[in-house]
Amino acid sequence: MTQGATKNHHHTATKPSAIRWTVMAAYAAALTTSTMTFLTYATVTSGVRVDFGVSEASVGNLALLSPLFLVLLGAVSGRFLDRRFDTTLAVGAAMIAVGPLLRLVDPSSYGWALAGQVLITAGTPFVANAITKYPARYFSAQERPTVIALLSAAFYLGVLLAAVTGQPLYECGGITLLVGVHAAVGTAAGVALLIMVTVVRVPVAVVDPEPAVARGHLRRTRELWMLAGVMFVLFGLFNAFITWIETVQDHLGNAGFGGPLVIALTLGGVTGAITIPGLAARRDARRTALIVISVVQVFGFLAFAATGNQVILLVLAVVVGFFMMAALPIAFEWSEIHAGIANAASATAFLTIVGNLGGVVFVLAPQMFLDTPRVIFVLLAALSIPGVLAALRLPPTPTPHLIAA
């Protein structure tokens, strides 16, 4: 459990091992590189479509596989991580390690790119949904908010690396260099995690002696649904921003400025994900933090609609990202407290599924307004309001283990 009003129901099994930090670093690297590799083609779509001989939409669909598999395999991955943690995480690590290598068979082949992408994105849920289970098993209650925050930041770092490496690598050596470098990094991180899980076995430091929460009941709790509502909006805003910001800026006369804004949003987000969750946990102010984060999104996107000044837009992107991406680790840590260690991965998977559904909705909604770009920002601000309402309906502090089996 964490500090504040929540009680500590967990028992220490063994003295925490120092090696757990090394395993955490390997896990964080795998989160970063799996995100980077599934976004390999996202920043160079117009160029690689020529290499592949397909349409831009077909190239774009390669990135859409990730949210698709996170939805389709979310519940299954959560269940297996809760029941067979080490084995399931090892399978996921192997998949994200082998996937980038498949694309190297023929970097200019869309078929091999698709095969590798399927393996990477199908393996991602079995890795990403351990983001609360791993800290819950190996770290104390006081350490957990920090660890979850660092792991969440690792995900956003992957987005940032994809954004800053894609175009330069492609310009230097074409699709072969781009795919090769991403394969080397992605495979190395996947293999490192696989070794850590299968060879370097970290003793479980914290066990949960209470009966496991009934998973079916867990998904019916209002508390988890309110967290899911916040995630639906914030995942949606992030996906919509990185999908449409280039198009919007082109219409506003800032051609090519979408990339810098994505980088600014992500840099702010990594900083926020590292700093805000720990502060909120120490002060037992998670609900307050989620309310503030949600309100900032509403006014932040209205501010985006009001200006075309590049300096102001960059500052707005940093501020909005700083708050936006801090919500993920806060919600994940809250769900672990609510579900308990036994079902931490299932709770995380549920939030991830709903969040990715939000990503789809928020990406589709602006399509009818592409010719009036400022309206897109107003629309996204309006769609953010339910996130505020969901945060307001959360209890003052996380409620642990209310739903016994």
Provide mean pLDDT across the span 21-30.
91
Whether residue 68 is predicted with pLDDT greater than 90 in this model: the reply is no
Whether residue 57 is predicted with pLDDT greater than 90 in this model: the reply is no
Contacts of 228 (CB under 8 A, 6+ apart): 350, 351, 354, 355, 390
Backbone phi, psi, residue 316, to 5°: -60, -40
Provide mean pLDDT across the span 112-139.
93
Do 124 and 85 share a structural domain?
yes
Provide mean pLDDT across the span 240-245.
85
In a domain, 37, yes or no: yes
Q: Yes or no: say if 361 and 204 are a contact pair by the CB < 8 Å rule.
A: no
Our count of domains for the chain comes to: 2
Do 145 and 82 share a structural domain?
yes
The rounded distance, in Å, linking the Cα atoms of 138 and 153 is 19
Q: Yes or no: say if 89 and 127 are a contact pair by the CB < 8 Å rule.
A: yes
pLDDT of residue 230: 97
Domain with residue 102: its CATH number is 1.20.1250.20
Q: Yes or no: say if 98 and 119 are a contact pair by the CB < 8 Å rule.
A: yes
Q: Which two tokens stand for residue 44?
A: 């160079």
Whether residue 216 is predicted with pLDDT greater than 60 in this model: the reply is no
Which of 365, 381, 371 lies closest to 294 in space, CA to CA?
381
What whole-number percentage of the chain has pLDDT above 70? 90
In a domain, 385, yes or no: yes
Residue finishing a domain among 179, 204, 229 = 204
What whole-number percentage of the chain has pLDDT above 90? 57
Contacts of 334 (CB under 8 A, 6+ apart): 227, 286, 398
Do 77 and 190 share a structural domain?
yes
b/e map 188-198, b = 16+ CB within 10 Å: ebbbbbbebbe
Which of 296, 306, 229 lies closest to 265 in space, CA to CA?
296
Do 325 and 298 share a structural domain?
yes
In a domain, 3, yes or no: no
Q: Compute the half-sphere exposure of residue 251: CA atoms within 13 Å on the CB side of its CA.
A: 16
The rounded distance, in Å, linking the Cα atoms of 368 and 130 is 37
At 358 the three-state DSSP class reads helix
The rounded distance, in Å, linking the Cα atoms of 274 and 285 is 16
Do 383 and 256 share a structural domain?
yes
Do 374 and 280 share a structural domain?
yes
Do 157 and 56 share a structural domain?
yes
Q: Compute the half-sphere exposure of residue 281: CA atoms within 13 Å on the CB side of its CA.
A: 28
pLDDT digits (tens, 9 = 90+) for 88-116: 999 999 999 999 999 999 999 999 999 99
In a domain, 6, yes or no: no
pLDDT of residue 212: 45
pLDDT of residue 58: 84
Task: Render 52-79 in DSSP notation, one character per residue.
Answer: HTS-HHHHHHHHHHHHHHHHHTHHHHHH
Which of 170, 167, 308, 290 lies closest to 234 in space, CA to CA?
290
Residue finishing a domain among 181, 204, 227 = 204
Residue finishing a domain among 160, 177, 204 = 204
pLDDT digits (tens, 9 = 90+) for 263-302: 999 999 999 999 999 999 999 999 999 999 999 999 999 9
> How large is the angle between the packed helices 85-104 and 110-128, nearest 10 degrees?
160
Say which amino acid occupies 305. A
The boundaries of the domain holding residue 356 are 212-405
> How large is the angle between the packed helices 56-72 and 74-83, nearest 10 degrees?
40
CA distances from 318 to 250, 311, 335 (A): 20, 11, 27
Whether residue 214 is predicted with pLDDT greater than 60 in this model: the reply is no
